[in-house]
Amino acid sequence: MDLLTFALLLLVLLCLLLGAGLWIAMSLAAVGYVAMVFVHPSPGLFLASAFWESTGSWTLAALPMFVWMGEILFRTKLSEELFNGLAPWVRRIPGGLLHVNILACGIFGSVSGSSAATCATVSKIALPELKRRGYDENVAIGSLATSGTLGILIPPSIIMVVYAVAAEVSIIRVFIAGCIPGLLVMLLFSAYIAIWAMLNPSKQPKAEPRMGFADKMRASAKLIPCAVLIVVVIGTMFVGWATATEAAAFGVLGSLLMAAGWRTGAVLLAADLAAWAFGLIGFSEAWPIAFFALLGLAAGESVLTWQAFIDSLKGATRLSCMIMFILAGAAFLTKAMALTGIPAALADGVVHLNLGPYGLIAILTVVYVLLGTALDGVSMIVLTTSIVIPLVQHAGFDLVWFGIFIVLLVEIAEITPPVGFNLFVMQTMTGKEQTEVAMASLPFFLMLVLTVVLCTLFPVTLVTGLPDLLLSR
């Protein structure tokens, strides 16, 4: 039996196992075990080592930290404060408060790292408010469904961590590479809303009264601690002061203090300053705690209850364990594929097709969009990494660029029927049929496609140039 036929049989087996309802991680491991049986007498040893190596990584410790940070802020009043704080700044722009959907999802996505959580949290506040003020419902629904996907593109992102670990590239480099594409998506979304508003003036509510600069600042004051938290978490990674894992730990501390409010912040600040004054700790150890204690002071009243704290731990534990279990199964499958020689055979097969680099990217785009109709983003990445990475490297593409390319395709998959998770979220929030939500999202879907095209045509300018610039110093 030749390797390509063997690969096809393994793919059929994987589809059968997934179709039968077996967990994704178990399905991956089972297929890897079958493949390993044909090339090694003791596949169980590789199974144990792959599981240990894939989950015993210090780099991967950033994953549960970022997940927990998002869970903590998900259970606070952040979404309400985002809407109220951003609304005064966009009410005079064509499209008005519809732009708040884009901005709020971008900001919340940068601290949650989750597409579904971003979509659900912002929609809960924005939809009733936009409906009350007379905004077009279809544009509101479409903008929220697609803007929720910014949670996986704007760093720190759970999907980016998963890809970086699976592809063995720098998490920080992938984070930085996602900044410009994330801003580009937000700009394209807002541009569409503004153009649509100017072409449909009859569907716009009456203009709201102007607000002075001082009034706008007062309305946005509650956003300052969150903005500072985002800048500190991302900034410490970008300038090299902290690794991704250390920055994630800072993010958890900051989000806990923001949620716990000024009392906890005051106590921690006093204890920290007293310890520093008595020489128990040095200044370099004291400043992170003092800084985040000040965030707690600025955040105001406490919104963190013991029940919310426990729920955040449970949610973070469930999601982190699920992702790590999938990564472990994928790691074993990757080892099995390497030993069988299937990836190399597939790479040679693609080379003989003479597709060229862009032909390969076109095929991968179709494959990932089709996968997105049935699988979530994490599963898409871990299922395909072991096969696709050798092909991409052979074609001469940068793996950091390819990570952003995959994340953009996962964004598209989030709003692609029948298993578009954001479509499910908006369907639940609005009570509409999935087809209605999908049609409302179509113009924004096309903006995502345009972003994929632009990032493919200008990879250095839009993706790899920024991390090369910042990390080469």
> Are 123 and 248 in a shared domain?
yes
Q: What pLDDT score does 189 carry?
A: 93
AA letter at 354: N
The residue among 307, 338, 361 that closes a domain is: 307
Residue 455 lies in a domain: yes
Residue 332 lies in a domain: yes
> Are 130 and 255 in a shared domain?
yes
Q: Is 70 exposed, middle or buried (0-12, 13-18, 19+ CB in 10 A)?
A: buried
Q: What pLDDT score does 262 carry?
A: 45
Tokens of 94: 């064509």
Q: Do the Cβ atoms of 55 and 150 come closer than 8 Å?
A: no
Q: What pLDDT score does 401 carry?
A: 93
Q: Do the Cβ atoms of 220 and 89 come closer than 8 Å?
A: yes
Instruction: Give how many domains the chain has, as a whole number.
Output: 2
> Are 178 and 78 in a shared domain?
yes
Q: What pLDDT score does 376 carry?
A: 64
The closest alpha carbon to 81, from 267, 190, 229, belongs to 229
> Are 75 and 128 in a shared domain?
yes
Residue 427 lies in a domain: no
> Are 236 and 340 in a shared domain?
no
Q: What pLDDT score does 463 carry?
A: 92
Q: What pLDDT score does 267 carry?
A: 46
Domain range for 101: 59-307
Q: What pLDDT score does 317 carry?
A: 83
Q: DSSP secondary-structure letter at 306?
A: H
> Are 301 and 328 in a shared domain?
no
Q: What pLDDT score does 281 carry?
A: 58
Q: Do the Cβ atoms of 162 and 381 come closer than 8 Å?
A: yes
Give the pLDDT means over successive 10-residue stretches in the chain (473 positions).
72 78 78 78 65 66 75 68 74 82 80 69 77 84 86 80 84 89 92 90 75 72 72 75 76 75 51 53 56 56 72 81 75 74 64 74 80 68 77 84 90 74 74 82 90 91 88 68
> Are 136 and 79 in a shared domain?
yes
> Are 225 and 159 in a shared domain?
yes
Q: Locate tokens 């597409």: which residue?
A: 115
Q: What pLDDT score does 261 carry?
A: 60
Residue 439 lies in a domain: no
- CA distances 179 to 32, 51, 101, 106, 267, Å, are 35, 32, 18, 11, 36
- Other Cβ atoms less than 10 A from the Cβ of 152: the count is 28
> Are 240 and 285 in a shared domain?
yes
